[in-house]
Amino acid sequence: MLSRFRKLPLHLLLTLVLALGTFTACSEDAAGDDDWGIDTAIEPDEERLGKADSAGTAGPPASADVSDTVVWEVKNQWEDRGTTEAKKSGMAWPANSGLNWDEKYALWVASMGLTPGWETSYQSFILKTPWGKELPAPRLECAEVAMFLRVTFASWYNLPFYLQAVDASGKIWFGHMGARNAAGRYKTTPLYKTAYRDHTTKFAGKSNDYIIANWPKDDVLRSRVVGDGDTMTFLTGSGAQRGGHYFDEIFLNKRVGHFMRLILTYFGSVNLSSSMNTYNLKPESIQPGDVLLERWQR
């Protein structure tokens, strides 16, 4: 199934990435060094909706965008073309491009191309950041790569994002507003807005050279892992050379790095195949960043 992350009011659910078997195979291993109080399975909402495209279902309330669970502030919308922010040049597009953020995302993914992987026989890519810093792609599993790229881009450009699922208590959402259910904060997941720092404002207006030379570090994040097999020996400086260390190197907003570990631990390909989070595409309409998923025996 060719698919693209679903777009609903106030959010955009991912568009998948460079498929081609990048990194390790899919598994269900959790990070294991945090207690988020999640003791039930997080599943796609497929019993009610099936695999057909579905739209118009209620998302998290707007009040979630100003709560203490917020990971990043939403300032732009994926459809924007003519706003001040949309007119600026970026990682793979010129100023006044007339493109919306979906189209810019596709250009960014395409611009990274494919390269030999680090300490692997798989093909990979070199991640480009808004500050000119480049790193080999992180060592992640198949669906994790897709979620990583979309969350990363959305957080850098203050765009809405969430994925929807269900557990024993009902609907849950993981996204720019943090981890939420209908009642508010989900389980004992972090209050990102107050628990971790966002250094973005501090570096506003600074040159890329200055930002890279004075890059802030979160020692706790740098010590964290994503799962088995996420060792990355190319990472430098103090840290575990694992997933959290990598995220600390690419996010001025450290909340995003901590959130990334949460969503990559509990969401996977089964959630991306849900019609709540992606929609079907005809092969001729596919573009860089879209996803190829197989709904086996569905």
Token pair recorded at residue 241 = 């050379």
Of 35-44, 55-64, 139-148, the one with minimum mean pLDDT is 55-64
Give the pLDDT of residue 279. 62
**pLDDT tens-digit profile of 152-164?**
999 999 999 999 9
Q: How far apart are CA 297 and CA 127, in angstroms?
A: 35
Instruction: Compute φ and ψ for 171, nearest 5 degrees.
Output: -70, 145
- State how far Cα 167 lies from the chain centre: 21
For β-strands 162-167 and 134-136, DSSP reports them as: unpaired
Give the pLDDT of residue 295. 61
Task: List the one residue out of 160, 153, 182 whose CA is nearest residue 251.
Answer: 153
**pLDDT tens-digit profile of 163-212?**
999 998 899 999 999 999 988 999 999 999 999 999 999 999 999 999 99
